[in-house]
């Protein structure tokens, strides 16, 4: 495997290489499901008439002709942009964009200036804006605006410019990478020259792979979470692979630990790995060699350390001295984001995807209820975790994960959540990425980014991944967005109806097949791999992609990654932005006056943003309308 440069692989490609799932799909089951699949996909091709099943009739049928689209801008206040293959950002006419912050920019004035030759010295690594920007939320704290934003992972070839190929050579190199990741909390303000980070603001804070945090909920104090350094199993260091995010109704930030498995390795290659490591992809080989220089990440010495990662962490952005809390009641898996909703009676719902091929979609429902101004203690510690089961007839059910339904203890359910969900036979999904909750209708959406293993092989737990209702295409390279409507207009209800909002595809390459996509996909808005998603206050859905940007073969005509806007009512989707070659667009939030939209550009290739011959730097950009009107 050494000839493969891990730096060039996405996390899912890396997982597949290090811990491939076995090819043990029951062939009979594939054949059997193929029969129903053919029937089902037959319906999808004739999408308009398949409305009863897919619920897409309104949008899809309205969008059947290009001329109708050109004449009707719908609720969109912009003219769509074309595809791009270049190394910059494009926004519609009448809009502007500018850079707010780049990896390595100072949060405090005593940090070193960024250098394109040397990067950031170790003494400043936790005093600058982190690498690989991802989920973010903006908070109003008094009259200040504070953004909490994730730094998901690192690009070692860029971050360690003094090394030959980005492989850490010393404990300092590892510490540097650890300090570039986690979360940045920073105050921002808009002045005459645009937006800037308020250097030295008391709110500015870095949370890294070594920041102390508390563990709460059922798993806290369990033997599986105890280590020599923390015999109580209630305090851990660091938050890992912070991907998407969320915002609670009480104004705290939820950061989501996704591909945590990749940080742990073994200095003893012959180590026998426990069964749960297999399901979570924890292997003897790590991605960044932490274990060679930092014993905490060496599973041959600290077998429980990986069981202290894979959670959702709550952070109070208004209090820089607060201790982040790992909320184990929300389960342990490759958490993508955390989309909060409130039930009519005040119960708190957190929707969560587990982004791995064939894993599941979850929700947490609090036992207690939220009342503005009242204590929120325990709301994210006491409640029920559910996993989604979709029926092909457009109905679905949230299956409670309890000792009765799983045969596991509550503690085990919160640590080995994937196994609990397999026991209730949840629906295997095509990599659930962000969930978005519509603020103007009782419905929620989940981006199912893609799954080349659909119909090919089971998930890491051996669960069958034959095509099913919301995941109807085998070898799914394009992705789709599923949405659901809770019964009784109550997100806490255990029953729902569902349909597909869109199936991405390529109508030029795959005309007349399900891989052309649904009827609301056309030559002018083609995209693949929906990932980040957020509703604006008007109920429009902003969709960000993290897909194949080679613009050839199955992906010809799609260009670089992009951000689109979707109307949930009509089904119309149009392209708002394209991002530089090599990057994905991920993370979206608004200024308090909603006249600025902040968007994250992750892992761009040079020359973005600083020019030819310079280091590429992930960045958050500020998008505005030239007339300073509202932007969602
Ligand atoms: Fe970090 Fe699933 O995206
Ligand atoms: Ca993502
Ligand atoms: Ca992704």
**pLDDT average, residue stretch 389-395:** 97
Determine the pLDDT at residue 15: 85
What's the DSSP call for residue 27?
Answer: H
Residue with tokens 């986690």: 182
Q: Is the CB of 466 under 6 A from ligand 1?
A: no
Q: Which ligand is nearest to the CA of 547?
A: 3
pLDDT tens-digit series, residues 426-467: 999 999 999 999 999 999 999 999 999 999 999 999 999 999
Q: Determine which residue's CA is closest to atom 1 belonging to ligand 1.
A: 243
What is the rounded CA–CA span in Å between residue 450 and residue 433? 10
Q: Which ligand is nearest to the CA of 355?
A: 1
Q: Which ligand is nearest to the CA of 586?
A: 2
pLDDT tens-digit series, residues 10-26: 888 888 888 777 654 44
Determine the pLDDT at residue 52: 30
**For the chain, what's the residue count?**
632
Cα(509) to centroid of ligand 3, in Å?
A: 23
**pLDDT average, residue stretch 564-592:** 98
What is the rounded CA–CA span in Å between residue 545 and residue 449? 8
The 3 state secondary structure assigned to 510-569 is CCCCHHHCCCCCCCCCCCCCEEEEEECCCCCEEEEECCCCCCCHHHCCCCCCEEEEECCC
At 48 the three-state DSSP class reads: helix
Instruction: Please report, in angstroms and rounded to a whole number, the separation of the first and last CA atoms in the chain.
Output: 47
**pLDDT average, residue stretch 82-101:** 98
**pLDDT average, residue stretch 592-610:** 98
Atom of ligand 1 nearest to the CA of 152: 1
What is the rounded CA–CA span in Å between residue 296 and residue 250? 34
Is pLDDT above 50 for 178?
yes
At 454 the three-state DSSP class reads: coil
| Confidence at 74, pLDDT banded by 50, 70, 90 | confident
Q: Is the CB of 433 under 6 A from ligand 1?
A: yes
Q: Is the CB of 243 under 6 A from ligand 1?
A: yes
Q: Which two tokens stand for residue 236?
A: 């851990």
Determine the pLDDT at residue 146: 99
C-alpha 128, offset from chain centre: 23
Enumerate residues 6+ apart whose C-beta is below 8 A from 399: 386, 387, 388, 389, 405, 421, 424, 425, 426
At 76 the three-state DSSP class reads: coil
Q: Which ligand is nearest to the CA of 243?
A: 1
**533, 479 in Cβ contact below 8 A?**
no
pLDDT tens-digit series, residues 183-230: 999 999 999 999 999 999 999 999 999 999 999 999 999 999 999 999
pLDDT tens-digit series, residues 470-490: 999 999 999 999 999 999 999
Q: Is the CB of 312 under 6 A from ligand 1?
A: no
What element of type H or E holds 31? helix 27-45
Is pLDDT above 60 for 107?
yes
What is the rounded CA–CA span in Å between residue 362 and residue 358? 13
Q: Is the CB of 336 under 6 A from ligand 1?
A: yes
**445, 481 in Cβ contact below 8 A?**
yes
**246, 137 in Cβ contact below 8 A?**
yes
Is pLDDT above 90 for 31?
no
**293, 349 in Cβ contact below 8 A?**
no
What is the rounded CA–CA span in Å between residue 315 and residue 184? 11
- Phi first, then psi: give them for residue 54, nearest 5 degrees: -95, -15
Cα(258) to centroid of ligand 1, in Å?
A: 7
Cα(517) to centroid of ligand 3, in Å?
A: 19
**52, 40 in Cβ contact below 8 A?**
no
Cα(433) to centroid of ligand 1, in Å?
A: 6
| Mean per-residue pLDDT of the chain | 92
Among 9-13, 358-362, 370-374, the minimum mean pLDDT is found in 9-13
Determine the pLDDT at residue 18: 80
Q: Is the CB of 355 under 6 A from ligand 1?
A: yes
Residue with tokens 């594939």: 30
Q: Is the CB of 359 under 6 A from ligand 1?
A: no
Atom of ligand 1 nearest to the CA of 241: 1
What is the rounded CA–CA span in Å between residue 445 and residue 540? 12
What element of type H or E holds 69? helix 66-71
CA atoms within 13 A on the CB side of 280: 31
Among 61-65, 390-394, 518-522, the minimum mean pLDDT is found in 61-65
Among 38-42, 398-402, 426-430, the minimum mean pLDDT is found in 38-42
At 185 the three-state DSSP class reads: strand
Atom of ligand 1 nearest to the CA of 243: 1
C-alpha 606, offset from chain centre: 24
Cα(433) to centroid of ligand 3, in Å?
A: 7
The candidate with the shortest Cα–Cα distance to 294, out of 244, 336, 240, is: 240
Residue with tokens 């693949």: 528
What is the rounded CA–CA span in Å between residue 2 and residue 209? 26
The candidate with the shortest Cα–Cα distance to 415, out of 225, 229, 209, is: 225
Q: Is the CB of 173 under 6 A from ligand 1?
A: no
State the pairing for strand pair 596-602/584-590: antiparallel
Cα(330) to centroid of ligand 2, in Å?
A: 18
Cα(67) to centroid of ligand 2, in Å?
A: 34
Cα(374) to centroid of ligand 1, in Å?
A: 34
Enumerate residues 6+ apart whose C-beta is below 8 A from 539: 438, 439, 440, 441, 568, 569
What is the rounded CA–CA span in Å between residue 55 and residue 178? 46
Cα(241) to centroid of ligand 1, in Å?
A: 9
- Phi first, then psi: give them for residue 430, nearest 5 degrees: -85, 65
**The dihedral of CA 348, 349, 355, 358: what is its sign?**
positive
Q: Which ligand is nearest to the CA of 588?
A: 2
Determine the pLDDT at residue 113: 98
Percent of the chain exceeding pLDDT 70 equals 91
**pLDDT average, residue stretch 240-244:** 98
Percent of the chain exceeding pLDDT 90 equals 88
| Confidence at 594, pLDDT banded by 50, 70, 90 | very high
**pLDDT average, residue stretch 498-516:** 98
Q: Which ligand is nearest to the CA of 449?
A: 3
Determine the pLDDT at residue 3: 52
Cα(8) to centroid of ligand 2, in Å?
A: 17
Q: Is the CB of 258 under 6 A from ligand 1?
A: yes
């Amino acid at each position: 495997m050494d000839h493969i440069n891990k730096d060039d692989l996405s996390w899912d490609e890396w997982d597949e290489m290090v811990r491939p799932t076995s090819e043990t799909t029951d062939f009979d089951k594939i054949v059997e499901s193929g029969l129903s699949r053919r029937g089902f996909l037959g319906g999808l091709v004739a999408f308009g008439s398949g409305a009863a099943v897919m619920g897409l009739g309104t949008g899809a049928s309205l969008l059947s002709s290009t001329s109708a689209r050109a004449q009707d801008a719908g609720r969109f206040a912009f003219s769509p942009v074309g595809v791009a293959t270049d190394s910059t950002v494009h926004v519609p006419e009448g809009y502007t964009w500018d850079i707010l912050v780049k990896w390595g920019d100072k949060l405090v004035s005593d940090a070193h200036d960024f250098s394109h030759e040397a990067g950031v010295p170790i003494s400043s690594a936790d005093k600058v804006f982190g690498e690989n920007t991802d989920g973010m939320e903006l908070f109003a704290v008094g009259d200040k605006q504070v953004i909490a934003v994730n730094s998901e992972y690192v690009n070692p070839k860029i971050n360690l410019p003094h090394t030959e190929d980005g492989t850490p050579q010393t404990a300092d190199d590892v510490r540097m990478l650890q300090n570039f990741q986690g979360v940045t909390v920073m105050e921002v303000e808009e002045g005459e020259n645009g937006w800037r980070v308020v250097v030295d603001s008391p709110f500015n804070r870095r949370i890294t792979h070594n920041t102390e945090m508390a563990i709460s909920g059922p798993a806290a104090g369990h033997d599986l979470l105890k280590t020599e350094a923390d015999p109580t199993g209630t305090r851990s260091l660091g938050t890992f692979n912070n991907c998407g995010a969320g915002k609670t109704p009480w104004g705290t930030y939820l950061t989501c630990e996704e591909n945590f498995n990749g940080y742990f390795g073994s200095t003893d290659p012959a180590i026998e790995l426990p069964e749960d490591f297999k399901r979570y992809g924890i292997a003897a080989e790590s991605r960044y060699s932490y274990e060679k220089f930092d014993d905490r990440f060496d599973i041959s010495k600290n077998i429980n350390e990986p069981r202290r990662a894979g959670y959702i962490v709550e952070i109070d952005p208004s209090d820089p001295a607060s201790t982040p809390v790992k909320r184990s009641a929300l389960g342990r898996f490759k958490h993508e984001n955390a989309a909060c909703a409130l039930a009519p009676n005040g119960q708190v719902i957190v929707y969560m995807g587990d982004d791995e091929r064939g894993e599941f979609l979850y929700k947490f429902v609090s036992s207690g209820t939220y009342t503005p101004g009242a204590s929120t203690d325990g709301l994210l510690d006491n409640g029920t975790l559910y996993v989604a089961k979709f029926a092909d007839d457009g109905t679905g059910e949230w299956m409670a994960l309890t000792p009765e339904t799983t045969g596991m203890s509550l503690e085990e359910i919160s640590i080995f959540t994937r196994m609990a969900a397999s026991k209730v036979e949840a629906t295997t999904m095509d990599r659930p990425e962000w969930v978005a909750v519509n603020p103007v209708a009782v419905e929620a959406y989940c981006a199912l980014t893609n799954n080349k293993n659909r119909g090919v092989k089971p998930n890491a737990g051996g669960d069958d991944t034959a095509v099913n209702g919301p995941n109807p295409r085998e070898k799914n390279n394009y992705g789709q967005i599923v949405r659901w409507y809770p019964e009784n207009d109550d997100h806490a209800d255990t029953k729902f109806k569902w349909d597909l909002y869109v199936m991405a595809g390529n109508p030029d390459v795959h005309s007349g097949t399900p891989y052309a996509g649904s009827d609301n996909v056309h030559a002018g808005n083609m995209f693949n791999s929906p990932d980040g998603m957020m509703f604006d206050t008007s109920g429009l859905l902003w969709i960000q992609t993290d897909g194949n940007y080679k613009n050839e073969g199955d992906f010809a005509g799609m260009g670089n990654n992009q951000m689109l806007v979707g109307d949930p009512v009509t089904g119309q989707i149009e392209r708002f932005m394209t991002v530089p070659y090599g990057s994905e667009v991920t993370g979206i939030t608004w200024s308090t006056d909603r006249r600025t939209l902040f968007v994250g550009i992750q892992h761009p290739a040079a020359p973005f943003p600083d020019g030819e011959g310079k280091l590429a730097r992930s960045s958050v950009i500020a998008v505005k309308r030239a007339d300073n009107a509202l932007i969602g």
